[in-house]
């Protein structure tokens, strides 16, 4: 049985592993290297690591730290955070990163998408967008790194990213982030219907049924944070991942 990609998504801040709720109040949850080793043992197929500080601070990727991540990973690694130039991407590829996740740089200049796609192929370029409802209840692309958006229309930005050469979209639902109460299925349906490339949905998964619902809504993959880090009503830190039997049962 061909199983959907269910991808642990790790957030890094000041070198530590953190988890946010609606993109606020990052909570320290441990050592990212230890988390990577646990996911290795659980035979995870793919991993996303996002540095949530680099772009905000205007700093380049922490190549030494990412090299440690890549050397520990037994699975393909997607990294995002602080990538602003083709040289940054080349360095990341050289140390073992398979996919580059772009957000702030792509919002500023779509040319960075094309440059990296021309160098490494579209399949290596992921464009990440954060979507949040405004005070009128309208969903729009948000920037959390002081990037001024001339156009925050979700559909327009998706089309521009695909036209520029993106091979995959990582869609984060800010309003659902970390709550583990289910994913924004209507928005997943909208986004996946508008792009002809794989969409990785993130934000709100709290159960296997939530993940299945996102796949049924059109997502090619689901990125999961809190569900694989927290356990129980008191959100004790416990890194988990479903085994193959659980994944097969989910898809029946």
Question: Which candidate in 51, 53, 130, 177 is catalytic?
Answer: 130
Domain coverage including residue 35: 5-250
The pLDDT value recorded for residue 34 is 96
Q: Is 41 among the catalytic positions?
A: no
The pLDDT value recorded for residue 143 is 78
* C-alpha–C-alpha distance, residues 57 and 54, integer Å: 5
What does the H/E/C string look like for 119-140?
HHCHHHEEEEEEEEECCCCCEE
The pLDDT value recorded for residue 251 is 85
The pLDDT value recorded for residue 147 is 66
| pTM across the whole model | 0.95
Element (H or E) spanning 80, and its range?
A: strand 77-80
- CB-CB contact of 92 with 63 (8 Å): yes
Q: How many domains does the chain have?
A: 1
Name beta bridge partners: 77: 47
Query: CATH no. for residue 62?
Result: 3.20.20.70
Token pair belonging to 222: 């689901």
The pLDDT value recorded for residue 146 is 61
- CB-CB contact of 15 with 230 (8 Å): no
- pLDDT in single tens digits along all 252 residues of the chain: 678 899 999 999 999 999 999 999 899 999 999 999 999 999 998 999 999 998 888 899 999 999 999 999 999 999 999 999 999 999 999 999 999 999 989 988 999 999 999 999 999 999 999 999 988 888 998 876 666 676 788 999 999 999 999 999 999 999 999 999 999 999 999 999 999 999 999 999 999 999 999 999 999 999 999 999 998 888 899 999 999 899 888 888
* C-alpha–C-alpha distance, residues 78 and 49, integer Å: 6
Q: At what angle do helices 111-120 and 86-94 cross, to 10 degrees?
A: 30
The pLDDT value recorded for residue 151 is 75
- Other CB atoms within 10 Å distance of the CB of residue 87: 11
């Amino acid at each position: 049985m061909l199983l959907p990609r269910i991808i642990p998504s790790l957030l890094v801040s000041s070198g530590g592993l953190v988890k946010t709720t609606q993109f606020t109040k990052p909570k320290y949850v441990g050592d990212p290297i230890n988390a990577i080793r646990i996911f290795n043992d659980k035979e995870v197929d793919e991993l996303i690591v996002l540095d949530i500080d680099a772009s905000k601070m205007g700093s380049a990727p922490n190549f030494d730290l990412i090299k440690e991540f890549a050397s520990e990973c037994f699975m393909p690694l997607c990294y995002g955070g602080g990538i602003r130039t083709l040289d940054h991407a080349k360095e990341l590829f050289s140390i073992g990163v398979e996919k580059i996740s772009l957000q702030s740089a792509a919002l500023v200049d779509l040319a960075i998408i094309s440059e990296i796609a021309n160098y490494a192929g579209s399949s290596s370029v992921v464009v990440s967008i954060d979507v949040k409802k405004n005070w009128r209840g309208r969903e729009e692309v948000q920037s959390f790194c002081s990037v001024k958006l001339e156009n925050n229309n979700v559909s327009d930005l998706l089309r521009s990213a695909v036209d520029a050469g993106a091979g995959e979209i990582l869609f984060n639902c800010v309003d659902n982030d970390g709550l583990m109460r289910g994913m924004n299925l209507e928005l997943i349906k909208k986004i996946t219907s508008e792009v002809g490339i794989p969409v990785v949905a993130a934000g709100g998964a709290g159960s296997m049924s939530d993940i299945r619902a996102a796949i049924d809504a059109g997502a090619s993959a689901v990125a999961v944070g809190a569900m694989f880090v927290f356990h129980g009503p008191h959100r004790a830190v416990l890194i988990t991942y479903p085994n193959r039997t659980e994944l097969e049962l989910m898809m029946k």
